[in-house]
Amino acid sequence: MKKYILVLISFLIVCFETFAQESLWEGQKIISPEVHSDNTVTFRLEAPKAESVQVKGDFLPDKINSGIADMTKSKNGLWEFTTEPLDPEFYSYSFLVDGLKINDPNNVFLNRDITSLHNVFLIGGGRADLYKVNNVPHGSVIRCWYSSPTLQMTRRLVIYTPPSYESSNADYPVLYLLHGMGGDEETWTERGRMAQIMDNLIAQGKAKPMIVVMPNGNASQEAAPGESSLGFYKPETKLPKIDAKTVFSDMNEAKKLLPLLKESNQIIKSFPDIVNFIDQRFRTKKEKSGRAIAGLSMGGFQSMYISKEYPDMFDYVGLFSAAAFAPNVNVPPFDNVTEKLKVQFDKKPALYWMAVGKEDFLYKMNENYRRKLDENGYKYTYFETGEGHIWKNWRIYLTEFVPLLF
């Protein structure tokens, strides 16, 4: 009997070790990426049979093969590439092995960018310290569901509450923060570092404690891919039959806009459902002066129209690289744009804030919209950066916009 027990124990130990080997030790024993003291970064991948290995990342200048750099192979099959010193920033990358995109097996830190996963790393310093998890009081990020009578659907929200929320009885102002085309309610926490930015700005006294609400801006979706009753379906980079760059570069073809207008019109009409839910569920300041709305790209377009459609709902408006255009269609809420804009600005919003990059494909559209505001004497604040339609800019815009609220 004693011998039998010893055999059984030995068998269990072998099974445990086998399982542990599968789950714990299947990765390569390599440091990648390795951030050096001079802010250069070395990437490594063991692929002895590969003919070509490249690294593709948003830290690479266009002059190096359009954001792709060749890695060098050593005799033992280890491929390496070291960057020039990089500016402080939150970066993403992947590898190309004989043309096949793979993630770095030595880096467990990943972000989903709509349809794909990318490894990420962060170089601290300057503004990028706002993107780090620092030793400061932390807020909470909550996922919850609300009923939208307008859309006849139960939908998912991501909500940030500030560090002091649970320990106080105070009412808090609310920022409604919208994503761009192809994104969802998880986008600002995944790619935008929203929670880290809010924690750090509040801790530094640069922003007032506030609730941040991130809805799903796609009227046809209950929630982010994999988080709804539809299960694990393949995400799409855009709404059906919509290509953003084609649509916004050829405004004369109104038929290309109809899917986007229909989708956004539903979100605009249903937005009071979200506000009502938040005001009932959380301790909020329920007057106009306690609400802000902002968004990037398509979310900027939606913020522009939501704030115009409900001029008594939001006192602060932020348009980040917004699709800031007024389609010539007689479809609510896109009808009577000029008249509705006048009503909004006659009510003197506390802040109307616009930002865009000089290389953004929507730069000209923003320039035209600003001209329209100037011609009517409507007061707004403008912030311009370099580069284009990228997350680097949208994180910057959030850090600039939030301290101006409330």
Cα(390)–Cα(58) distance, integer angstroms: 9
Token pair, residue 118, equals: 């990318």
Residue 358 · residue 266 · CB < 8 Å: no
Q: What mean pLDDT value characterizes the chain?
A: 89
CB 206 within 8 A of CB 317: no
- Residue 26 clears pLDDT 70, i.e. is over it: no
**What is the pLDDT, as a whole number, of residue 241?**
42
Q: Find where tokens 């804030």 sit.
A: 353
CA distances (Å), 20 to each of 6, 27, 106, 109, 373, in order? 21, 12, 18, 21, 63
Asked if the peptide bond before residue 240 counts as cis, ω within 30 degrees of 0, the response is no
Flag whether pLDDT at 178 surpasses 80: yes
pLDDT tens column, 240-281: 444 455 545 555 545 566 666 777 899 999 999 999 999 999
CA distance 35 to 122: 9
**Which domains are delineated in the chain?**
34-123 (2.60.40.10), 131-404 (3.40.50.1820)
d(CA 309, CA 261): 14
Secondary structure (3-state) at 317: strand
Separation between Cα atoms, residue 353 and residue 223, nearest integer Å: 28
Greatest mean pLDDT range, 56-65, 260-269, 352-361:
352-361
Q: According to the model, what pLDDT value does residue 3 have?
A: 54
Grade residue 19 by pLDDT with cuts at 50, 70 and 90: very low
Neighbours of 187 (CB within 10 A): 28
- Write down the pLDDT at residue 217: 94
Mean pLDDT is lowest, of 206-220, 225-239, 303-317, 359-373, for: 225-239
Both tokens of 81, joined, read: 């590439």
3-state SS class at 397? helix
Packed helices 258-281 and 298-309: angle between N→C axes, nearest 10 degrees: 70
CB 272 within 8 A of CB 309: no
Q: What is the pTM of this model?
A: 0.89
In the block, tokens 């522009």 appear at 304
Which tokens is 111 given? Answer: 């972000």
CA distance 304 to 19: 54
Alpha carbon distances (Å) from 69 to 40, 43, 240: 14, 11, 34
Which own/partner contact pairs does 66-74 have at CB distance under 8 Å and 24+ positions apart? 68/96, 71/43, 71/45, 71/95
Rg of the chain, C-alpha, whole Å: 24
Structure-block tokens of residue 29: 């024993």
Give the strand pairing for 78-82 and 72-73.
antiparallel
**Of 116-120, 290-294, 374-378, minimum mean pLDDT range:** 116-120
